[in-house]
Amino acid sequence: MASEDKPDRLSPADRHQYENRYIPKKLAKNEIPRTPISWQQASSFRRVQWLQGKSLERGFDVVFGLPQAGWQAERSYQYKPDERIRIDRRLERHHTPDMVARNVEIKSGSLKDRDVQQLDGYIAKLREGEKVFYYTRASKSKEHNTAAREKIAQLEREFPDQFVHKQMSERVYQRILAVGARQVARDIQQRIENDLARLPEREPSALSVEQIARDYVRDIERIKAEGRHVGIEQLRYVTEALRELAAAEQRANHDQAAADRKALGLGYHAARDLAQVQAAELEAQHIARMRALDPLRIELIAREREQLSRHTDEMARQLPTMDLVQQREQFLGLAYTLGKIQSLEREHHQEIARDVPHERAVEFLREAEATRQEIDRPVAQQIGAIGAAVERETAARERAELSRLAIEVNRERLIVQGMDPEQARAQAVVLPAPLLRDSDRGKDPRELVREIAQRDREHSLARERATEQRVARLVARGVPEDHARAVVLVQLPSPPPGQRQSSRNREAERAEARLLEQGIAPEIARAAAEGRIPEPPPVVTRGHESPGHGRELGIYRDR
């Protein structure tokens, strides 16, 4: 069962009806009871139906003057040993000129199976010679149960002089209903007044919350006149204690009202109507009780603002001497205190606004909010400046920690590449820390270094894929693979700072690439690009010389 679907959520009258009447009745019939919310919804629907029917009946009383003519309301009639019906209005035979009793049944909605059973009860009355006037609503005729329509037609045939079925037009129905609704409201109000008159008188408490609050306010004024102040801790304690006492007194009053209603032995709807009136009276008493606490709450809010302003000024002066943890704690404390003060004052204004019309309440709350923002603007701006300073310090320390970890990662990478640890330490220091993205702010530095390293690895893989794609395109155009790879590697973007070669080496590499594209052997192209003369091929000698052997051997000698 959901938390909102429990008997505790019901009003006292509804809970008593649900637990002490509805559930035992269902269990006695071996039926499964509804949940509290489902029962409450069904009960409200039945209440609306009852009010509609009751209003129509009372409308008949007023329009046709039935009570004055001797008609009796809601008479019970048992037509079988275990069956009975309720007759809306009945006129005994001694009140009629022809000495024939009359019965009136008034229907505001469509006819159902239970109405067919009721017509069976009226058959017994008709057989006894009585008359029955059956009123229905014309606009609901198409919604009537088929069995009900057949039963009405049967009675009209069998008892044409005794059974009279009349259909009210919508205009007549609405007129009678409106008259009856006003009469029902007066009846309920009169019944509530009678029930209230039966409630026992309660003596007011000799020491009420209102009296305690007024006495304490006088003490505060006297102490302030003497140039002193009540401690803010004491003011907080007294204000909160009186609020709790007021809430406890309200709960006690509701409990006492429920006990008084129970002592009257009222029915469910009568008890619920009386409970609504009592709840409204008790709420008005509670509002008046809380109004007596207004001077205390206003004084407390003013003192809280003064203390917050002092603490904010003090922190602004001491901020450079605090460590980061203290700065953050103090800033969060100031921001929370400001929000708490504003919430306390906003709650106070909302309680005041409940006593005025809606339009005035909206305007009052709007003006109160604007005034509150204007009063708190200086301290709010100061707290905001402190927060910005704390944020800058936090960001600076994050960057410093990130740089330290980045240098450590660079040093470890250089050592893995074979560099001497001392040289790696010196070389790693000059390598810049990775640049931070906006999404990197506020992350744990160690986690951030790992993320940046992962991004570097992904970038390296992307470079390798780009290299292979460019090599494949050159090979497809007929360039040898080793030549194509050499060309692509030279033309790729230079590696990160610290691993870059000198501009002279880069020029040599580009020159070598151009020679390779022309089909020059790699060794000769490299030497030529670096400005060196290629080594001559080894000299091959023979045992005897023959004409032209030097030309055959490709040897050129100086003459």
What band does 544 get if pLDDT is binned at 50, 70 and 90?
A: very low
Q: Does residue 148 have a pLDDT over 70?
A: yes
- Identify the pLDDT of residue 358: 85
Please tell me the predicted confidence (pLDDT) of residue 529.
58
**Buried residues in 68-98 as b, exposed as e (16+ CB within 10 A):** eeebeeeeeeebeeeeebebbbbbeeeeeee
pLDDT at 516: 60
pLDDT digits (tens, 9 = 90+) for 364-415: 889 988 988 899 889 888 888 888 888 888 877 777 777 777 777 777 777 7
Which of 133-137, 186-190, 459-463 is predicted with the least confidence, judged by mean pLDDT?
Answer: 459-463
What pLDDT, on a 0 to 100 scale, did the predictor assign at position 433?
45
Q: Averaged over 433-451, what is the pLDDT?
A: 56
What's the pLDDT at 545? 47
Fill in the DSSP letter of residue 111. -
| pLDDT at residue 523, rounded to an integer | 66
Measured CA to CA in angstroms, residue 510 lies from 94, 474, 492, 504, 507 at distances of 130, 16, 11, 10, 5
Q: Report pLDDT for 423.
A: 74
Q: Which amino acid is at 553?
A: L
pLDDT band at 554 (very low <50, low <70, confident <90, very high): very low
CA quadruple 453, 459, 461, 467: dihedral sign = negative
How far apart (Å, rounded) are the C-alpha atoms in residues 509 and 556?
31
Provide the edge-to-edge strand list for the sheet that holds 163-168. 72-80, 83-91, 102-106, 131-137, 163-168
- 121: amino acid identity, one letter: G
**Mean pLDDT computed over every residue of the chain:** 79
Residue 474, number of CB atoms within 10 A of its CB: 17
pLDDT of res. 450: 64
CA 380 to chain CA centroid, nearest Å:
27
Q: 193-221, pLDDT tens digit by residue?
A: 888 888 887 766 656 788 888 888 888 88
- Closest by CA to 485, choosing from 471, 472, 506, is 471
What pLDDT sits at residue 208?
79
| Ranges 130-134, 261-265, 536-540, most confident | 130-134
- Residue 155 pLDDT: 93
In the predicted structure, residue 10 carries a pLDDT above the cut 70:
yes
* Confidence at residue 348, expressed as pLDDT on a 0 to 100 scale: 86
Report residue 170's pLDDT band, with 50, 70 and 90 as the boundaries: very high
Domain edges within the chain: 50-196, 209-321
For 502-543, how does the pLDDT look when each residue is reduced to its tens digit (9 = 90+)? 445 656 666 666 666 555 666 666 666 565 555 555 554 444
pLDDT at 531: 56
- Give the architecture-level CATH label for domain 50-196: 3-Layer(aba) Sandwich (3.40)
Q: E strand or H helix at 163, and its extent?
A: strand 163-168
> In the beta sheet, which residues pair with residue 132?
103, 163
Closest-CA residue to 286 (of 351, 239, 237, 350): 351
Structure tokens at 422: 């001392």
CA distance 513 to 515: 5
**CA 259 to CA 202: how far, in whole Å?**
13
